[in-house]
Amino acid sequence: MRVVCIARHALLAEHVCALARGAALEPFCAVGFAAGYALTLELRPDAVLCDYDLLVSAPIAAWFGDARVAATPLIAVSLTRRPDEAVSALDSSLAAFLYLPTFTPESIGLIVRAIALGKRPDGVALPATASPLSWPSERGASRPRA
């Protein structure tokens, strides 16, 4: 399953790609929203993992206004913000929000696959999920090894 991993910096993009590789996904890295948009148009991935902080400042309306990419699930990922700390203006547009420190590569793979197949996985913050949001770590899921 192909995923495009978009982030503000090469180091962060490669980190998200490494998590995706650990999840047995086929990741492609992009630095910057424009590069990620172009790569998504070219590759037609099953899902896109995008740095949440980049999404906040990106021309997101153009993404969802373009039928060529709008159907591709857009999953926000963050190393620093939990879902309850994120700006809710993006909620209706996102397929999911993953606070990466609470997920293993295996759980990320399961979630991305479920979302790409149109299913709503349990325990992940999705749009329209009632608060308080639950994270796998609160349900006893293991944390990634340091």
Longest CA span, the chain: 40
User: Is the CA virtual torsion 34, 39, 44, 45 positive or negative?
Assistant: negative
In the chain, pLDDT over 90 holds for what percent of residues? 40
The single residue listed with the structure tokens 């590069």 is 35
Per-residue confidence band for 125, with pLDDT thresholds at 50, 70 and 90: low
Amino acid 142: pLDDT: 37
Over residues 119-146, mean pLDDT: 42
Confidence bin at 137 (pLDDT 50/70/90): very low
Task: Compute how many other C-beta atoms are within 10 angstroms of the C-beta atom of residue 118.
Answer: 8
Residue 33 has pLDDT above 60, yes or no: yes
pLDDT at 133: 34
Q: pTM value?
A: 0.78
The string of pLDDT tens digits covering residues 34-56 is 999 999 999 999 999 999 888 88
The phi and psi torsions of 85 (rounded to 5 degrees) equal -100, -5
What does the alpha-carbon distance between residue 72 and residue 84 come to, in Å, rounded to a whole number?
24
Q: What is the mean pLDDT of residues 75-90?
A: 75
Q: What is the DSSP string of 54-107?
A: HHHHS-HHHHHH-HHHHTS-EEEEESS--GGGS-GGGTTT-SEEEEGGG--HHH
β-partners of residue 96 are 75
Average pLDDT over residues 1-18: 95
What's the one-letter identity of residue 70? A
